[in-house]
Amino acid sequence: MVLAAFLAAAAGLDEERRALYGDVVLSSLNAAARRTLEAMMKSGYQFQSEFARSYVAKGQIEAKAHAVLTVLEARGLEVPAEVRERVLASTDIAELDRWVRRAAVVSDARELLATTGS
């Protein structure tokens, strides 16, 4: 199904391209296909293919890693290269969630990576 293929492909795009490509796809659909797509989106569509699920997960991981760095930088903390590289290399959602919370309270970005019970 073309709609499912678009949804899978769009998951890995940045917001601007996703909107642009989405507009192109929507403008090319007939009314029935457009309604089907809208119904899928309203119902909390779950990706069916492993490819799409992994692509979405990758995007979530990247977004969380960037959120960690954004919080540190917004707080005016210098982010050393080794911290930046470690954060961007993480593929563990739970770890990134912990780091986002820690980024809000650490006094030095290196503390982010310190092993604690949190």
Q: Where are the beta strands (DSSP E) in the chain?
A: none
Q: How many CB atoms lie within 10 A of CB 112?
A: 22
Q: Please give the Cα distance from 12 to 1 (Å, whole number).
A: 18
3-state helix, strand, coil in the chain (%, to 5): 70, 0, 30
Q: 56-89: per-residue pLDDT in tens?
A: 778 788 889 999 999 999 999 999 999 999 999 9
CB 54 within 8 A of CB 46: no
Do 30 and 56 fall within a single domain?
Answer: no
The residue with greater pLDDT, 3 or 76, is: 76
Do 60 and 41 fall within a single domain?
Answer: no
Task: Map tokens 């009314």 to a residue.
Answer: 31
Q: How far is CA 99 from the centre of its chain?
A: 15
Model confidence at 4: pLDDT above 70: no
Helix, coil or strand: residue 52: helix
Q: What's the confidence (pLDDT) of residue 1?
A: 55
The residue with greater pLDDT, 26 or 71, is: 71
Q: Is residue 118 part of a domain?
A: no
Do 20 and 62 fall within a single domain?
Answer: no
Task: State which residues form the domain around 34.
Answer: 2-48
Q: What's the confidence (pLDDT) of residue 118?
A: 45
Task: Identify the band that residue 47 occupies on the pLDDT scale cut at 50, 70 and 90.
Answer: low
Is the entire prediction scored with pTM above 0.85? no
Do 35 and 56 fall within a single domain?
Answer: no
Q: 7-18: per-residue pLDDT in tens?
A: 667 766 777 877
The residue with greater pLDDT, 115 or 63, is: 63
Q: What's the confidence (pLDDT) of residue 65?
A: 93
